[in-house]
Structure 1
Amino acid sequence: MCPPRYFAVEYAINPWMDPGKPVDTDRALAQWTELRDTYRRLGHTVDEVPPEPGLPDMVFAANSGTVIDGRVLGARFRAPQRAAEAEHFRRWFVEHGYRDVTMPRQINEAEGDFAWTGRLLLAGTGFRTDPAAHAEAQETLGVPVVSLRLTDPRYYHLDTALFVLSEATEAAPARVAYYPEAFSRGSRRVLERLFPDAVLATAADAACFGLNAVSDGRNVVLPVEATGLAGRLAALGYEPVFVDISELRKAGGGPKCCTLELRK
């Protein structure tokens, strides 16, 4: 995670961003701190990457890399305003003992568009990550990749429209939650085939960034407004954990956007 010390909305690179609306950096930092502390209370370790002046979106660490079995595929951003973030995160990986670090040739916004299910890497495209980056991820990370096309610009990254509730194990398949209307018809059919027991989100769930959630297989950290989705998850045995991300959402981000999962 990367603290939003320099958080601001100075440009618009997604439909949620409006530079004309005021942003409270102190409130954003308080919300981020509560998210970080929530992970720690749930027993998780959180590494912090120092923020850099002039990179207000660096708080959205999910876009900085994809890490599976200790291999790191870095990021290459579509928007020039975020391009410099990639090198700061690459240095952090190298300085913290990651030796297998590859920087992509293709536009690749990392866990913004990549979701690991334990056996497959679901890969989004349509607005940010190039389709060619999916093949590059498969070659670099050595895992099978399934491409999914996003069609609603409000849900410009895969992590705004889908998250993994439980990774696959020998005893059970993976389970995901997703908003069907964010995907192309063919991609919906793929998801239906791969995940017949998926939790299907409503328009209201998606609009409050309820699918920009983080699950450890039991606890699901999600925005406080996502009460409908939380109720359905609780009925399945998951433990919803609410956080307020209202200030961070002004830049099109939520719990998952702020969180890169390090699978060592």
Structure 2
Amino acid sequence: MCSPRFFRVEYEINPWMDTGVPVDADLAVKQWERLREILIELGHTVHTLDPDPGLPDMVFAANGAFTVDGVAYGARFRFPQRGAEAAAHRAFYTTHGWPHTESAEINEGEGDFAYLPGVAGGLILAGYGFRTAPPAHAEAVEVLGRPIVPLHLTDPRFYHLDTALAALDDRTIAYYPGAFSAGSQRVLRRLFPDAVLADEADALDFGLNLVSDGRHVVLNSDAAALAARLAAAGFTPVPVELSELKKGGGSVKCCVAELRG
């Protein structure tokens, strides 16, 4: 994770960002700290990156890389405003002894990759359409050695896969069908007939931008209907308020890069 100490909306690179809407920086830090505390209370170890005053979106740490089996596939950001973040993430992984491959293709880390270790020996769901370029999927196969299912995002409000789909445990996902092309919807129905489906309202509240440890699901507190569906499916919802970070187009998952050793 990376503190939002320097978080602000000073450019617009997704439909949620509006430079005319002020950000309460102190509140953003308080909300982020509460998210970090929740993860620690649930028994997880949280590493932190030092924020850079020149990189206001570094708080969205999930976009810096995607890791499987202790190997990091590094990001190459589509927009130049975020490009320098990739080096900060690369330094973290190399310092901690993780093999890191610098991508030659446009991809935004866990923003567009989700991992299901219990499906097909380890299946990667990979989004494209707005940020990550399809050639990155082939590159990720070579780096990570796992099969990939490409999923076409067609609604610009859901510009990253992690705004429209989330892994809940090793085999189960939650997603909003309306974010995907008709073909991708058919693929998801066939692969995950027991998925938890979100409605448009909860998807727009960033309810699917969540982090799950297979039992506890930490998600945006605005997504009350999705929380109820998750509870009915046997998971334990853990709501957290992240109103300030939503102004940048992100929520829980965007703030957390999961380290799969």
TM-score, normalised by the number of residues in structure 2: 0.98
Paired residue for 2:138, among 135, 140, 147?
135
Output the amino acid matched with 1:248. L
| Alignment correspondent of 2:48 | 48
Deviation at 1:10, TM superposition (A): 0.2
**Alpha-carbon distance in 1 for matches of 2:224, 2:89:** 34
Instruction: Give the counterpart of 2:215 among 218, 234, 237.
Output: 218
- Tell me if 1:115 matches 2:118: no
In the TM superposition, what are the counterparts of 1:109-258 in structure 2 within 5 Å?
A: 109-118=108-117, 119-167=122-170, 174-258=171-255
TM-aligned CA deviation for residue 260 of structure 1: 0.4
Runs of 4+ deviating beyond 6 Å: none
Q: Secondary structure at the match of 1:23?
A: coil
Identify unmatched segments of 5+ residues in structure 2: none
Does structure 1 retain, via aligned residues, the 8 Å contact 2:115–2:124? Answer: yes
Task: Give the match's secondary structure for 1:251.
Answer: coil
Number of aligned pairs?
257
Percent identical among aligned pairs is: 61
| TM-score normalised per structure 1 | 0.97
Q: CA deviation at 1:97?
A: 1.7
Partner of 1:170: none
Question: What RMSD over aligned residues (CA atoms) do the two structures have, in Å?
Answer: 0.5
Per-residue CA deviation, residues 224-252 of structure 1 (Å, 9 max, x unaligned), is 11110010111111100010010000000
Partners of 2:48 and 2:193 lie apart in 1 by 37
State the distance in 1 between where 2:94 and 2:168 align. 30
Q: What are the Cα deviations for residues 62-90 of structure 1, in whole angstroms up to 9, with x where unaligned?
A: 00001100011010000100000001110
SS at match of 2:139: helix
Deviation readout 1:77-116 (Å, 9 max, x if unpaired): 0010000000111011111121x11010000101000000
Contact 2:196 2:233 in 1 (8 A): no
Q: 3-state DSSP class of the match of 1:121?
A: strand
Amino acid at match of 1:164: A
Distance across 1 between alignment mates of 2:140 and 2:199: 30
What amino acid sits opposite 1:183 in the alignment? Answer: F
CA deviation profile, 1:167-193 (whole Å, cap 9, x unmatched): 1xxxxxx11000000000000000001
